[in-house]
Amino acid sequence: MPQRLMTSVPAAVLMILIGLLPGDSASSRGDTPNPGPDTGAVVALVNASSPAENLFNGQFCGGVLVSPTLVLTAAHCVRGRRPASVDAVVGADNLCRGAPVPGQRLHVRTVILHPRTPQGRAVDAALLVLAGKATAAPARLPDASDRLPATGTEFGWGRDGYGGVAPCRRTSVPLRFVPGERCARAQRNLDIAPDPARQLCAVPTAEATRNTCTGDSGSPVLAANRVWGLVSWGPSCRIDDVGAYVRGASLRLWVTGIDAIHSTRRAPAEGTAGNTRGAV
């Protein structure tokens, strides 16, 4: 979340954005998986100190693998955190206590916040450089010329409502993209200037049972294995409320440039002590 928002958004909204609410015990919602062709790149961000048998209480945000060594997430998820305090679980689904956790747990080596725009505005996006290579296939960012689909699906571990229960298993929220003016009105009510070039707006479809909420920040909105958006913020978790998402296409050039720099540096081999935790 841009630092400007930190001082202008009410505390209740900040908790929705950042996930500052206390952790829950594992939810009974964990018995409902949602496999799909695009979800191998979905990432759970967890506290590096979390033991393997209790990742759920250490999960704080989501992300998406965009190259073998890069995870894209929301800037407000990692601003102020030490890279060594964050692990990425790539291809995660089940984080339930006492159950096998699929995916590959990797240390984060570096956090790169998106630079400010020429107008001085912060962008709610960050790249995490992994200390080892992920084996999952990365998701793609759309080109600027790619046509935005009518709908997309968010994958994450967000609560089922403000103050509600957090799932220990990844859930999905089907979303319908709406004209930017709809969330621009919400932003003006919060004294926030809209940024349509870098922002998408969406609401849950009629089939959805919840909206994106606390814990979903940084999680991807996917369609056709493209990352159309990242969960950024919303005025509430109500199912009929609009949410703002970082526009994936606006991040493509930045991500490509960072990837080019880091791909020239040989990543440590998987299994190297201190760099990768392997399967979790």
- Amino acid symbol at 211: N
Does position 266 have pLDDT exceeding 70, yes or no? no
Q: Residue 111, SS3? A: strand
Tens-digit pLDDT profile for residues 116-171: 988 888 899 999 999 999 999 999 999 988 999 999 999 999 988 766 677 888 99
Query: Would you state the structure tokens that stand for residue 42, as one six-digit string?
Result: 């979905």
Where b means 16+ CB within 10 Å and e means fewer, 173-197 reads: bbbbbeebeebbebbeeeebebbee
DSSP letter string, 159-222: -SSTT-PPPSB-EEEEEEEE-HHHHHHHHHHTT----GGGEEEEEE-TT-SS---TT-TT-EEE
Domain 3-8+39-138+252-279 has CATH 2.40.10.10: yes
Residue 218 pLDDT > 90, yes or no? Answer: yes
Q: How do residues 83-93 score in pLDDT, each as one tens digit? A: 999 999 999 88
The pLDDT, as a whole number, for residue 274 is 36
pLDDT score at 78 = 97
Average pLDDT over residues 242-259: 95
Locate 129 and state its tokens.
């450089």
CA distance 208 to 7: 32
**pTM to 2 decimals?**
0.83
